[in-house]
Amino acid sequence: MPPTSEPGPSTLTPLAELVKKSAKRTRAVYGYEGDGIDDGLAQANKMKLAAKLAVEYRDVQVLPPILAGQQAGPTGPKRPTAQPTAGGAGAGVKLIGGPGEPSTSTSAAPEPRELVKFRHQQGFAAGGGQAGSKLSQALMRKKEAREIKPVYHPQWKLTRVISGHMGWVRAMTVDPGNQWFATGAGDRVVKIWDLASGELKLSLTGHISTIRGLAVSERHPYLFSCAEDKMVKCWDLETNKVIRHYHGHFSGVYSLAVHPTLDVLCTAGRDASVRVWDMRTRANIFTLTGHTSTVADVKMQAADPQIISGSMDSTVRLWDLAAGKCMTTLTHHKKSVRALAIHPTEYSFASASAGGNNIKKWKCPEGTFVNNFVGHEAIINTLSVSDEGVMFSGADNGSLTMWDYATGLPFQHLKDVPQPGSLDAEAGVFCSAFDKTGTRLITGGADKTIKVYSEQA
């Protein structure tokens, strides 16, 4: 058999033609006439963009009705017109995304603050909307507190200085009839003064140590006093004599309070206990224990908690008078709590200590913390609140501050001027009380004088 001749290099078909022929055959098999090659990449990109717009800009794709109305007005430059929607001529103007792109938003005019609400739910501090997280709620409360404007209060001015005591004036109370006030001092004498003229009406002697607390009953002609001699005395103001003693404290008694509706007396002192007494039988109804240091101040009110005590152990305790037990212990203060004040009409009270953020407001009955009174950096010895919403704080260094009780903002700072002949260190304020009209403030201090401040018209 003769050998076959192999084709030479010149007879081979070029590779480009083979590829082209193969592509034509593939198109003929898998394609159809008149259709160009489409790999679907453009459609996929379009769908991806539409989905991304729908997810990320869902809340702001449609112009809010308020802005649409502003744009429809005659003033200002006009924007390009867009396709009208069911929401009105301008209410459905798309801000993001073209007319041909699909959108998941079905409502024509959603809420104008959707993005704000979304930010609140995520914990961001955006203005307006409804706060959803703890952080956002706290920031909104702080912002609201900053925005609250205090009610206008007139300025206060020193109008009278009364001398007569031979020791530090440590206790004070005002007659419910607003005719006189009583003071107690380190000279062991209780003095009763005429409120209008400032004249001395009566001196009551009987204690053998510094008098630390005074209270007048609103329903009886009784004046109660307590002192560092462990004695609690009940004075009959019709005969000006002591008619009862309440024995039981193991050390000095620093504070006392009378219940406004019950015949009950409450005392507290250096033995870290709060004692509740039957006013008439002198029986010790309860001995409330729990504080670990001197109880510096105690208050009573008709509603629960009926007894509130502040102690040198830096706690405030709320007591249930019916059960004789502690309801709540407030541990927010860093240093010893020296003064308490109950608002006459509002269901709240304030407590004061030393150091920063040393005056705090609380809401009854749970003792919920409301806010700090910032601006009086000193050891606060006394607090008083009037019906007009004015709170007074007096400090150991002689600084006095008048506060708007509702907002916790100070509106006046004063300085106690010691009596001529006294040391500068004797400028401290130990006790204070507003009269029943709320227009006069009486303070007692370390310079042995009583000062009367009046509201300026």
- 70-74, 102-106, 397-401: which has the minimum mean pLDDT? 102-106
H helices present in 148-272, as ranges: none
**Residue 412 Cα to chain centre, angstroms:** 20
pLDDT band at 40 (very low <50, low <70, confident <90, very high): confident
- Distance (Å) of CA 33 to CA 39, 42, 113, 128, 246: 17, 22, 54, 61, 115
**Dihedral over alpha carbons 330, 331, 334, 337 (to 10 degrees):** 30
What's the mean per-residue pLDDT of the chain? 85
For residue 436, tell me if it sits in a domain: yes
User: Is the same domain home to 126 and 239?
Assistant: no
DSSP letter, residue 210? -
Rg of the chain, C-alpha, whole Å: 40
Percent of the chain with pLDDT over 90: 64
- 21-25, 315-319, 404-408: which has the minimum mean pLDDT? 21-25
Structure confidence at residue 132 (pLDDT): 55
Cβ burial, residue 344 (10 Å; 0-12/13-18/19+): middle
Rounded CA-CA distance 176/34 in Å is 106
- Which helix H or strand E contains 138, and what residues bound it? helix 134-147
For residue 57, tell me if it sits in a domain: no
User: Is the same domain home to 160 and 218?
Assistant: yes
Rounded CA-CA distance 218/174 in Å is 11
Rounded CA-CA distance 44/40 in Å is 6
For residue 430, tell me if it sits in a domain: yes
Tell me the whole-structure pTM to 2 decimals: 0.69
Print the domain residue range for 451.
Answer: 156-455
User: Is the same domain home to 263 and 286?
Assistant: yes
Q: Give the pairing of strands 295-300 and 241-245.
A: unpaired
User: Is the same domain home to 134 and 242?
Assistant: no
More confident residue, 93 or 114: 114
User: Is the same domain home to 290 and 426?
Assistant: yes
User: Is the same domain home to 122 and 209?
Assistant: no
For residue 3, tell me if it sits in a domain: no
User: Is the same domain home to 339 and 195?
Assistant: yes
* Close Cβ partners of 86 (under 8 Å, ≥ 6 residues apart): 92, 108
Query: Residue 129: is its pLDDT beyond 50?
Result: no
Structure confidence at residue 27 (pLDDT): 82
Q: How many domains does the chain have?
A: 2
Query: Residue 35: is its pLDDT beyond 70?
Result: no
**Residue 272 Cα to chain centre, angstroms:** 29
Rounded CA-CA distance 200/181 in Å is 10
For residue 308, tell me if it sits in a domain: yes
Rounded CA-CA distance 207/192 in Å is 15
Q: Give 146-186 pLDDT, tens digit per residue.
A: 667 788 999 999 999 999 999 999 999 999 999 999 999 99
Structure confidence at residue 101 (pLDDT): 47
3-state class (DSSP) for residue 47:
helix
For residue 54, tell me if it sits in a domain: no
User: Is the same domain home to 294 and 340?
Assistant: yes
User: Is the same domain home to 301 and 233?
Assistant: yes
For residue 261, tell me if it sits in a domain: yes
User: Is the same domain home to 284 and 362?
Assistant: yes
For residue 96, tell me if it sits in a domain: no
- Which helix H or strand E contains 299, and what residues bound it? strand 295-300
Rounded CA-CA distance 163/440 in Å is 18
- Whether cis (ω within 30° of 0) applies to the bond prior to 365 is yes
Structure confidence at residue 405 (pLDDT): 95
User: Is the same domain home to 302 and 449?
Assistant: yes
User: Is the same domain home to 127 and 184?
Assistant: no
CATH classification of the domain holding 348: 2.130.10.10
3-state class (DSSP) for residue 116:
helix
Single out the residue of 232, 286, 236, 237 nearest to residue 255, CA to CA: 232
Rounded CA-CA distance 397/413 in Å is 13
DSSP letter, residue 168? -
